[in-house]
Amino acid sequence: MVSVTLDQVTKRFDSVIAVDRVSLEVEEGEFFFLLGPSGCGKTTLLRMIAGFYRPEGGHVRFGDRDVTDLPPNVRNTGMVFQNYALWPHMTVRKNVEYGLAMRNVERSEMDRRVDRALGMVQMGAYADRSPNQLSGGQQQRVALARALVIEPDVVLMDEPLSNLDARLRLEMREQILALHKEIGTTMIYVTHDQKEALAMSNRMAVMDSGRVVQVGTPRDLYQRPASRFVADFIGEINLIPGKLLDAGSGYSVETGLGTLRAEECPAGLAKGDGVLCAIRPEGLAFLEGEGTPGDNTVTGKVHSVIYLGEVEQYLIELVDGTMAKMVEHDPVTQRAQPGDDVRLRFSPTRVVLLPSRGEGDAEAL
Ligand code: ATP
């Protein structure tokens, strides 16, 4: 396993800048995710790491080795694609041993490694089948075995679970996580599915229009998004516009709902700046009685309620017209009906202040 360093990597296709000066450090043994909406440049970046595309600018390093100009076959990466990309005319065993045969590994060693790789993905019993006799999930497990059998320094995965149904996707998440734990190889995984990235990654980079806009652990990115784009892309968020009043200890924001307080404020925001108070739906709660001193309090009218079993989702029109989403966990009884006037509270610790436009977004970087 190796670390992977990207240094100001850029790739254009005619007038489109698919990847724009991306710098990243993926640590040895890390399970790192590239997350972003369709067309943001994730696949192009992964392909530059694999060596399928040569960047116009910047460098790709595996450990201390600069691999920018090396072809894919000498980088020792294993690749897993969304569409499995198995050879239909070869058996499962032949598919998996292909990379070893290309490396002139001798027969007995090859058999040993293929058996081990198929065992790791629980496909040993299917070695003599052809890919068209397998389900999608089984084909993807063979594709994984094929990537792992060469004992790669880095495993690269491009939306590997997108073609599977929801239940199988969850099962395969677990299996891939267990494999990563077992072999410890550096893995880089591309997805547009934020839940997959939250559930599986050690760290992730969120991309927008060819740029990396934020890097962090799932918890960092969910709880402390640095921009509206990241806040919106990872999960649901309520955004209340306002103006920053104080930049001392504890922060006040003048909004259409009154003065709201936040505990933290990112560097770069100053008194008088336009800001968005970002609050996750689970950060809001119904206020009954006097509430907790120090909490923010807002009022509104219930617009709609959706019962989902483990949670109940409320859409509430606040007095400034903002439609706020709120979730109640373990909703044994429904707390309010559409049309009810309600008061909500949220702690200043749950408020993330974001620049109201520009900063932190791809076009401003
Ligand atoms: P998706 O999740 O839809 O696969 P992505 O984030 O992986 O999207 P890329 O496939 O990397 O995005 O594409 C980034 C940009 O580069 C897009 O605007 C795309 O149209 C463009 N692009 C990608 N490959 C090519 C190509 N071979 N020729 C021309 N333009 C390309």
Domain co-membership, 142 together with 261: no
Task: Write out the residue range of the structural domain in which residue 29 sits.
Answer: 4-223
Domain co-membership, 206 together with 257: no
Distance 134 CA to ligand 1 centre (A): 30
Which residue, judged by its Cα, is nearest atom 26 of ligand 1? Answer: 13
Does residue 43's CB lie within 6 angstroms of at least one atom of ligand 1? yes
Radius of gyration of the chain (CA): 24
Q: Helix or strand or coil: residue 133? A: helix
Q: Which residue has the tokens 């706020």?
A: 324
Q: Work out which ligand 1 atom sits closest to the CA atom of 210.
A: 14
Domain co-membership, 80 together with 219: yes
Number of domains in the chain: 2
Domain co-membership, 166 together with 132: yes
Does residue 15's CB lie within 6 angstroms of at least one atom of ligand 1? no
Which residue, judged by its Cα, is nearest atom 24 of ligand 1? Answer: 44
The phi, psi pair for 193, rounded to 5°, reads -95, 105
Distance 17 CA to ligand 1 centre (A): 9
Q: What is the DSSP letter of 248?
A: B
- How many whole angstroms from its chain centre is CA 13? 25
Residue at a domain's end among 223, 239, 267: 223
Does residue 46's CB lie within 6 angstroms of at least one atom of ligand 1? no
Domain co-membership, 155 together with 173: yes
Residue at a domain's end among 167, 191, 223: 223
Distance 45 CA to ligand 1 centre (A): 10
Domain co-membership, 187 together with 243: no
Domain co-membership, 137 together with 251: no
- Beta strands per DSSP E along the chain: 4-13, 16-26, 31-35, 57-62, 65-66, 77-80, 154-158, 186-191, 203-208, 211-216, 238-244, 251-255, 258-262, 274-279, 285-286, 296-307, 311-318, 323-329, 341-346, 352-355
Does residue 22's CB lie within 6 angstroms of at least one atom of ligand 1? no
Find the angle CA(132)-CA(134)-CA(137) to the nearest 5 degrees.
125
Residue at a domain's end among 208, 223, 238: 223
Does residue 192's CB lie within 6 angstroms of at least one atom of ligand 1? yes
- How many whole angstroms from its chain centre is CA 287? 33
Q: What is the pLDDT of residue 78?
A: 92
Q: What is the DSSP letter of 143?
A: H
pTM over 0.85: yes
Which amino acid belongs to residue 164?
L
CATH number for 335: 2.40.50.100
Does residue 208's CB lie within 6 angstroms of at least one atom of ligand 1? no
CATH number for 126: 3.40.50.300
Distance 14 CA to ligand 1 centre (A): 12
Domain co-membership, 36 together with 94: yes
Domain co-membership, 194 together with 263: no
Mutate to test the pocket of ligand 1, among 40, 192, 193, 194 (most ligand atoms within 8 A of CB): 40
Which residue, judged by its Cα, is nearest atom 29 of ligand 1? Answer: 13
Domain co-membership, 215 together with 138: yes
String of DSSP letters for 93-108: HHHHHHHHHHTT--HH
- Which segments in the chain show pLDDT lower than 70? 247-249, 358-365
**Which pair of structure tokens corresponds to residue 173?**
């998440």
Which amino acid belongs to residue 156?
L
Does residue 37's CB lie within 6 angstroms of at least one atom of ligand 1? no
Domain co-membership, 166 together with 240: no
Neighbours of 32 (CB within 10 A): 21
Does residue 138's CB lie within 6 angstroms of at least one atom of ligand 1? no
Distance 158 CA to ligand 1 centre (A): 13
Q: Which of 208, 211, 256 is nearest to 232 (CA)?
A: 208
The phi, psi pair for 346, rounded to 5°, reads -155, 140
Whole-number Å distance between alpha carbons of 138 and 181: 20
Whole-number Å distance between alpha carbons of 329 and 355: 30
Which amino acid belongs to residue 34?
L
Please classify residue 56 by burial: count the beta carbons closer than 10 Å to its beta carbon, then call 0-12 exposed, 13-18 middle and 19+ buried. exposed
Q: What is the DSSP letter of 333?
A: S
pLDDT in tens, 219-261: 999 999 999 999 999 999 999 999 999 766 679 999 999 999 9
Mutate to test the pocket of ligand 1, among 16, 54, 82 (most ligand atoms within 8 A of CB): 16
Q: Which of 8, 109, 97 is nearest to 55 (CA)?
A: 8
Beta strands 274-279 and 203-208 are unpaired
Does residue 41's CB lie within 6 angstroms of at least one atom of ligand 1? yes
Q: Helix or strand or coil: residue 265? A: coil
Domain co-membership, 10 together with 131: yes
Q: Which of 62, 25, 28, 5 is nearest to 183 (CA)?
A: 28
